Amino acid sequence: MNRPIWAIIILIFVSHSCKSNSDTDIIVAKVYDTELHYSAFSYLFENKKLTEADSTVVANEYINNWIEQQILIHQAKGNSKINLTEVEDKAVKYKNSLIIHQYENIYIENNLDTSITENEIIIYYKDHQNDFQLNDYLVKVLYLKIPIDAPDINKIDRWYKLYNKKDSIEVDNYAKTYASNYYFDDENWMYFDDITKEIPLKNINKDKFITRKSKIRLDENNFYYFLNVIDYKLKNTVSPLEFEKENIKQRILNIRIKELREKFKKDNIQKAYDEKSVNIY
């Protein structure tokens, strides 16, 4: 019996909401001799707080995609040029690889040690210096973007140069009130090219501008731009450790994940042989 889509959705929504096993394997569609049962896609509604409207969208999309796919599959199977044995073999291999991959991920999730000590980071950094060569300048900067009608521009023009410790406090207080954009961190490095995305620097000699620790004020598009290059690291030198810490942490985790994948495979294969579960005829 063909049910209208709204009736199918109500059955799905009610059975899912009630968490009942009765009538949950209803036939929701049929194309030629192939039937689609609710059980084939019931996983889409598991552990999800879906409203009836959301369930309708999810089920409707799945059913319509399934129908279109079955029509094309049926027609394709009638083409003698298609090697169904080869296709089925590839499908089995793909399915098996997905199952193994999920099993591996569960194993890794349960066994991965995500804690990384400072000493591990330092050792990795020292052992892989060639991996941390800079392709561009790293800088520490103070950067401000201020509307052209903001007050006391002459004061900020003096403070942003940071001639004394009090200046940074004055800049911070001013920026919180008037700045459209503001960045100042004398502890962490950033790529100089990231700064050029924020400030309209034109016709500068990049090498000289940075190595001279330039301080510049620009007036463009109704904004004042202030930039103070506080410190720098030369390109083609080794990137500083503090800049690479998060990168190194991820590298160490990737190594651990790779080792766990290898252990997972080795242990499971060895277990099968130890249990005499492998027979070659």
**H or E element in which residue 219 lies:** strand 215-220
Taking alpha carbons only, the member of 129, 106, 112, 111 closest to residue 252 is 112
Spatial distance between the Cα atoms of 169 and 279, rounded to a whole number of angstroms: 76
- Kindly report whether the global pTM for this prediction surpasses the value 0.75: no
Structure tokens at 95: 């399915």
What residues of the chain score a pLDDT lower than 50?
Answer: 1, 18-22
The reported pLDDT for the residue numbered 24 is 55
The reported pLDDT for the residue numbered 47 is 63
Phi, psi (5° rounding) for residue 188? -115, 150
Per the CB < 8 A criterion, the answer to whether 191 and 135 are in contact is: no
Spatial distance between the Cα atoms of 40 and 30, rounded to a whole number of angstroms: 13
Spatial distance between the Cα atoms of 209 and 218, rounded to a whole number of angstroms: 14
Contacts of 231 (CB under 8 A, 6+ apart): 139, 140, 186, 213
Strand partners, 219: 224
Per the CB < 8 A criterion, the answer to whether 138 and 194 are in contact is: no
Q: Is the dihedral of CA 65, 71, 77, 80 positive or negative?
A: negative
The reported pLDDT for the residue numbered 40 is 87
Spatial distance between the Cα atoms of 180 and 168, rounded to a whole number of angstroms: 17
Residue pLDDT, tens place only, 170-221: 999 999 999 999 999 888 899 998 988 888 888 889 999 999 999 999 998 8
Spatial distance between the Cα atoms of 78 and 76, rounded to a whole number of angstroms: 5
The domains of the chain, with CATH numbers, are 5-82 (no CATH), 134-233 (3.10.50)
The reported pLDDT for the residue numbered 1 is 46
